[in-house]
Chains A and B, each alone.
Chain A
């Protein structure tokens, strides 16, 4: 399979906010490498502060790593300038945890969805609207919410809208940074099914986005991804197929995460139904 996006030896430090501690920078990423293949579904799990969100921000080129390389289709994104980066951005889409702060508060749901098409001048207004309604239905939202303000939607609807917005330009990589965590479990499950749908059935193989799911919830990650990467303190401590991680976790952190997600310490050895 074709390798789409790789991170090589990423290091990212955030300066400490304390006044005096000059060398007390927080090392959010400490030599992290991941490889994302076309159409793959990969879960990145870890507790708060493990660096998983920083990894997501770096992969989506929102943050620039201090060192290391991010290669997308053989181009090192850490070396290109902003205008070149802009050509790449539509292909790597990031969905944030908190969609209430991710939408322009003055946009309706329709404007949110249609904006990328408008900017690319792909279709005229009527076609855009039709496509927008189609995309909404595909993502499990009623088509008549196009004229509602994006921020007036419920949390679950909003998060779906955010995913729909990310899918609008048919990206090659879809990164979900705790995008499901704030939702209740049944909505999470619905969206999980939807993502599997988006990456499996609805689209032909060429348009199928690779999914990178960032989560603290190992079970949710396992449900969606084929491969899981476990992070702790900016490093990757364990990685492997979902099967292997769930059945035979090796690292203590992985076992803890499993225990947290299931509430049944260590006894979880069944792959969740997909």
Chain B
């Protein structure tokens, strides 16, 4: 329990630090949202100054940070210049769309990678293993963008799947089941790209961890005792191999928000990726900071979850 509490405090401190750094670095970047307005002859310099004053952009960093903390306490996380609205609701909607995509594809990727990796480790050097490792090597060398574009071409040629967006035009009037089906169809493509892209790394990690565990003395001893192979694989080897895999799982949680940026852009999924990209280009300060912090929350949260899982899975950590 003390261990978990310590990890939790650690995570909180990390978040506070990240918010300070996010402020520092964004203020170091040259220019701000209103600089481009200066070129517009229709906006007077008085208006600009008033806008800047309104958004506190002319105040020193410490004051702005304090103001931001206050708005965070109100659940707003600052104000978006471009959308003229508080940041949190804007982020929340996009984060939800992104999470819908990434949670499903992460779970799917693990559900495929675990059996494939274990299977491949069990038959090391045999045909199954060679096919699996060969296929994952093949996927590994294909850049995600090529994979995505390839699948897009496939979708366009066959007309089986929608090629972009999250919903079809005019889907609002449809009954719930039809809307759900529509959403699922739109998800197939981005999820497929994400799963295929994550697959090789996961499979390889699972395979090597399990193969190593199968060589352990206690697994061989258990085999000599007459423990069934299936139990050896899933109960002994996979559990022994669990620690590095759990850490890897923590990273996949950390990548939930950021990992799908490219895919969202090429399939025009209305998630965080395109939104943040736009905000960065427009120097929409608080949106960028919000995005950075949200990503940090997931990274820290992912690690925390991995720690909890490790704590649960490995008695040796518990006695530490």
Chain A positions within 8 Å of B, measured between CB atoms, are 60-62, 82, 86, 88-90, 93-94, 96, 98, 101-106, 115-116, 119, 149, 152, 165-166, 169
Contacts and interface: CB of A to CB of B under 8 A. Distances in A.
A18 B66 CA distance: 69
Closest 8 CB pairs of A and B: A89-B226, A101-B217, A102-B221, A90-B226, A62-B224, A94-B224, A104-B218, A60-B224
B315 to A, nearest CB: 5
Contacts of A165: 225
A104 B222 CA distance: 8
B38 interface: no
A106 B235 CA distance: 10
B225 A89 contact: yes
B240 A93 contact: no
B314 interface: yes
B22 to A, nearest CB: 40
B237 to A, nearest CB: 10
20 contacts: A86-B226, A89-B226, A90-B225, A90-B226, A93-B225, A96-B221, A101-B221, A102-B221, A103-B221, A104-B218, A104-B239, A104-B240, A105-B240, A105-B315, A106-B240, A106-B315, A119-B228, A149-B319, A166-B225, A169-B226
A61 B227 contact: no
Contacts of A103: 218, 221
A117 to B, nearest CB: 12
Contacts of A82: 229
A96 B217 contact: yes
A103 B236 CA distance: 10
Interface string B305-319: 000000001111001
Contacts of A115: 227
A105 B218 contact: yes
Interface residues of B, number: 22
Interface in B191-250: 216-218, 220-229, 231, 236, 239-240
B216 A62 contact: no
Interface string B109-130: 0000000000000000000000
Given A90-B225, A105-B315, 12 more contacts: A60-B224, A82-B229, A86-B226, A93-B224, A93-B225, A94-B224, A96-B217, A96-B221, A101-B217, A101-B221, A106-B313, A119-B228
A144 to B, nearest CB: 18
A93 B319 CA distance: 32
A98 B218 CA distance: 10
A162 to B, nearest CB: 9
Contacts of B229: 82
Contacts of A86: 226, 228
Contacts of B223: 62
Nearest to A104: B218
Contacts of B239: 104, 106
Contacts of A88: 226
A103 B223 CA distance: 12
Contact of A102 (B217, B240, B313): B217
Interface in B141-175: none
A7 B221 CA distance: 21
A105 B240 CA distance: 8
A101 B216 contact: yes
Contact of B316 (A94, A96, A105): A105
B17 to A, nearest CB: 35
Q: Which one of B313, B315, B319 has the highest number of Cβ atoms from chain A below 10 Å of its Cβ?
A: B315
A101 B316 CA distance: 15
Q: Which one of B216, B226, B231 has the highest number of Cβ atoms from chain A below 10 Å of its Cβ?
A: B226
A139 B227 CA distance: 22
Contacts of B218: 101-105
Nearest to A61: B224
Given A96-B217, A102-B217, A104-B218, A119 B224 contact: no
B223 to A, nearest CB: 7
Contacts of B222: 104
A98 B227 contact: no
Contacts of B226: 86, 88-90, 116, 169
Contact of A119 (B217, B221, B227, B319): B227
Interface string B278-305: 0000000000000000000000000000
Contacts of A89: 224-226
Nearest to B223: A62
B314 A106 contact: yes
A155 to B, nearest CB: 15
A119 B231 contact: yes
Contacts of A119: 227-228, 231
